[in-house]
């Protein structure tokens, strides 16, 4: 019999392995010697030991998930327990048992990592929901739809969380998208309705503008065009292509009318240019009356100039303000001198001035009499007071006499 620490070869060529439960037959090697047979089954053990070693490295290095590692350990354990090999099979089983605590730690770590990722994903989804609800509550119809599409793509990229939380957040997210889409459709439907209404109004305004284009009632028609323009702005935008066409018609009619008016005014200005030459001469003649020395003569001369002014007719529009301003300045100068003369000759004011002179003269006479009595009595204080009173009244008398002289001519 040939044997080793972990096995033996019987005389009939059967190979046995030693286990904790006793010997177990693992096969035979009829093609060789007992030593070769024992060596053959020992090499099988070495191969199995190497496989256990590889598994240990992968498990300890976290190359497998805990679930995958557990399944691999189960497979290798079955191979060890039923192995037709010679060696310390119990030691291999012990090494496999030693991987159980490692898997337990890894499972806890994976669980904590999963919980952390779930919490982060939940926070990210809550943030996406809040952003979606903010967009849905706003009225950014141009960019809102694109923003919600981007948020949806971000949602899809996030992992699922616990079903209840995921379903609740998705309900809010989806509801925000639905609400925004519904409000957006309503908004654009209302805009389309308003644009259609604006189209009807602007078609009418364009027709009215075109009907006025040939009018020669310059003032009233210009006012009507201002009213039409106000109504055009108030109508709001029509559909883009229609709006441009209607504006082209409306503006074309306006341009035709105002172009004709400007041409007519230009012709009138040319016709009135000679009238302006006449009025320039009349203004020089009128301005020569200032400063006014003889009011009556100035008034008579100005009336003659005014008659010739009216007879001269209209002047170009760009000269009207200047010429009217200069002739009115002369008229005002004459009127001002006339008003001053009238004020000075006002009978009522003249009578009041004369009456004031008389009263002051009588009062002064009384003060002078009292002053003589005070001097005779030697009352120095009363003399001083009466002298001051007399001086004041005499000053007022001088002013009253000058005013009376002015009113009397």
Model confidence at 348: pLDDT above 80: no
Measure Cα distances from 189 to 65, 182, 184, 186, 240 in Å. Answer: 56, 11, 8, 5, 15
Q: Helix, strand or coil for residue 14?
A: strand
Strand partners, 271: none
Considering the chain, what percentage of its residues have pLDDT values greater than 70? 96
Q: Cα(214)–Cα(217) distance, rounded to whole angstroms?
A: 9
pLDDT digits (tens, 9 = 90+) for 195-212: 889 999 999 999 999 999
Backbone angles phi, psi at 395, to 5 degrees: -65, -45
pLDDT greater at residue 402 or residue 235: 235
Among 137-141, 255-259, 399-403, whose mean pLDDT is lowest?
399-403
- SS3 for 179-238 is HHHHHHHHHHHHHHHHHHHHHHHHHHHHHHHHHHCCCCCHHHHHHHHHHHHHHHHHHCCC
Rounded to two decimals, the pTM is 0.43
Whether the predicted pLDDT of 404 surpasses 80: no
Question: DSSP state, 138?
Answer: S
155-174 pLDDT, tens per residue?
999 998 889 999 999 999 99
Residues, the chain, total? 409
306 CB-contact burial (10 Å; exposed 0-12 / middle 13-18 / buried 19+):
middle
Q: What is the pLDDT of residues 87-139, one digit of tens each?
A: 999 999 999 999 999 999 999 998 888 888 888 998 999 999 999 999 999 99
CB 320 within 8 A of CB 356: no
pLDDT digits (tens, 9 = 90+) for 220-236: 999 999 999 999 999 99
Closest CA to 279 of 241, 307, 255, 240: 307
Give domain limits for the chain.
Answer: 2-97, 111-191, 196-267, 268-343, 347-407
Distance CA 249, CA 370 (A): 99
Asked if residue 312 has pLDDT above 90, the reply is: no
Neighbour-count burial of 19, counting CB atoms closer than 10 A to its CB (0-12 exposed, 13-18 middle, 19+ buried): middle
When pLDDT is averaged across residues 354-379 and rounded to a whole number, the result is: 84
Q: Encode burial over 88-120: b for 16+ CB neighbours within 10 A, e otherwise.
A: bbeebbebbeebeeebeebeeeeeeeeeeebee
Evaluate whether 73 touches 99 at the Cβ level (below 8 Å): yes
Q: Which of 100-109, 163-172, 252-261, 350-359 has the lowest mean pLDDT?
A: 350-359
Q: How many of the other CB atoms lie within 10 Å of CB of 300? A: 11
């Amino acid at each position: 019999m040939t044997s080793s620490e972990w096995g033996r070869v019987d005389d009939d060529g059967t190979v046995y392995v030693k286990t904790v439960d006793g010997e177990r037959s693992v096969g035979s090697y009829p093609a060789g010697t007992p030593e070769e047979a024992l060596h053959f089954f020992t090499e099988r053990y070495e191969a199995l030991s190497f496989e256990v070693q590889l598994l240990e490295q992968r498990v300890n290095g976290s190359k497998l998930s805990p679930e995958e590692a557990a399944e691999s350990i189960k497979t290798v354990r079955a191979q060890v327990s039923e192995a037709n090999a010679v060696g310390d099979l119990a030691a291999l089983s012990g090494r496999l048992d030693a991987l159980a605590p490692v898997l337990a730690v890894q499972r806890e770590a994976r669980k904590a990592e999963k919980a952390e990722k779930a919490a982060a994903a939940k926070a990210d989804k809550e943030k996406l929901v809040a952003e979606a609800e903010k967009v849905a509550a706003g009225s950014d119809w141009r960019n809102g739809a694109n923003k919600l599409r981007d948020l949806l793509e971000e949602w899809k990229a996030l992992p699922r969380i616990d079903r209840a939380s995921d379903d609740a957040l998705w309900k809010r997210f989806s509801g925000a998208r639905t609400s925004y889409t519904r409000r957006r459709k309503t908004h654009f439907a209302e805009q389309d309705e308003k644009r259609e209404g604006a189209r009807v109004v602007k078609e009418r305004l364009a027709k009215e503008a075109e009907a006025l284009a040939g009018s020669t009632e310059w003032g009233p028609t210009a006012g009507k065009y201002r009213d039409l323009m106000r109504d055009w702005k108030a109508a709001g935008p029509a559909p883009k292509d229609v709006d441009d066409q209607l504006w082209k018609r409306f503006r074309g009619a306006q341009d035709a009318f105002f172009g004709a008016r400007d041409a007519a005014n230009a012709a009138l200005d040319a016709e009135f240019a000679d009238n302006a030459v006449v009025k320039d001469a009349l203004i020089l003649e009128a301005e020569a009356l200032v400063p006014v020395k003889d009011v009556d003569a100035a008034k008579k001369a100005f009336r003659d100039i005014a008659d010739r002014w009216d007879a001269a007719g209209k002047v170009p529009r760009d000269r009207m303000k200047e010429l009217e301003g200069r002739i009115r300045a002369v008229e005002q100068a004459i009127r001002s001198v006339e008003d001053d003369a009238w004020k000075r000759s006002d009978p009522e004011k003249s009578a009041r001035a004369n009456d004031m002179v008389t009263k002051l003269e009588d009062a002064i006479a009384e003060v002078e009499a009292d002053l003589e009595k005070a001097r005779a009595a030697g009352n120095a204080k009363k003399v001083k007071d009466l002298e001051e009173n007399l001086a004041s009244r005499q000053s007022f008398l001088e002013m009253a006499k000058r005013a009376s002289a002015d009113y009397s001519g």
